[in-house]
């Protein structure tokens, strides 16, 4: 076990506050006025523990696949899928997946974009995964893509829920986050 892991373990459990200390604030990124929460230092040291924390509240007996939202949702979602022995489905930005796809335009806190998902109806019960829930634009677009594919979204799991930007924790059933701001 590395020295940094020894510091963060207390009786076999990682201390949440120590994990949170690895999240850094980057002011004015990606545009002026935005305080970006960078989870890269956290994932560099504790990816396994983050995946375990994101997975622990989900009833996996009722899940067929994890849907990861580009791009850090790919990392987290694929790891969650492997850990819980289910499939993985990517949601990507426009033009990155081969046809046929379904598309959904959405508004971010700092712009607009389009998400796409492969047209597929073989998987029905899914967990959506992303790194951060901010204004909810990405989540809403991903949910719409799932509806277009007749997927039943059983849970939504993120590392960070920026509750000061949204009230979605009151509206989304089975929304799980490790950290809330």
Catalytic residue among 17, 49, 92, 109: 109
Q: Which residues pair with 130 in a beta bridge?
A: 158
Burial class (CB in 10 A: 0-12, 13-18, 19+), 14: middle
The Cα–Cα gap between 63 and 78 comes to 14
Q: What backbone torsions phi and psi does residue 23 show, to the nearest 5 degrees?
A: -85, 125
Verify whether residue 143 is a known catalytic residue: no
Catalytic residue among 72, 92, 116, 143: 72
Which residue intervals of 109-167 are DSSP H helices? 137-148
Q: Rounded to whole angstroms, what are the CA distances from 106 to 68, 122, 143, 150?
A: 17, 25, 11, 19
The Cα–Cα gap between 54 and 31 comes to 28
Question: Cβ(7)–Cβ(18) under 8 Å?
Answer: yes
Verify whether residue 72 is a known catalytic residue: yes
Q: Kind and range of the H or E element at 83?
A: helix 72-83
| Beta strands at 152-161 and 125-133: parallel, antiparallel or unpaired | parallel
- The catalytic residues are 72, 109
């Amino acid at each position: 076990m590395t020295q940094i892991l020894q510091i963060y373990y207390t009786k076999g459990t990682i201390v949440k506050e120590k994990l949170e200390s690895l999240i850094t604030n980057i002011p004015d990124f990606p545009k002026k006025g935005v305080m970006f929460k960078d989870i890269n230092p956290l994932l560099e040291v504790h990816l396994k523990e983050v995946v375990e924390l994101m997975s622990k509240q989900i009833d996996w007996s009722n899940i067929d696949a994890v849907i990861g939202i580009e791009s850090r949702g790919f990392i987290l979602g694929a790891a969650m899928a492997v850990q819980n022995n289910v499939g993985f489905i990517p949601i990507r930005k426009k033009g990155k997946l081969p046809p046929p796809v379904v598309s959904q335009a959405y508004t971010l806190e700092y712009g607009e974009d389009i998400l796409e998902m492969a047209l597929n109806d073989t998987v029905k019960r899914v967990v959506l995964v992303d790194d951060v829930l901010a204004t909810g634009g990405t989540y809403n677009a991903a949910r719409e893509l799932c509806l277009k594919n007749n997927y039943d979204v059983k849970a939504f799991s993120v590392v960070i829920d920026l509750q000061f930007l949204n009230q979605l924790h009151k509206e989304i059933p089975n929304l799980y986050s490790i950290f809330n701001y």
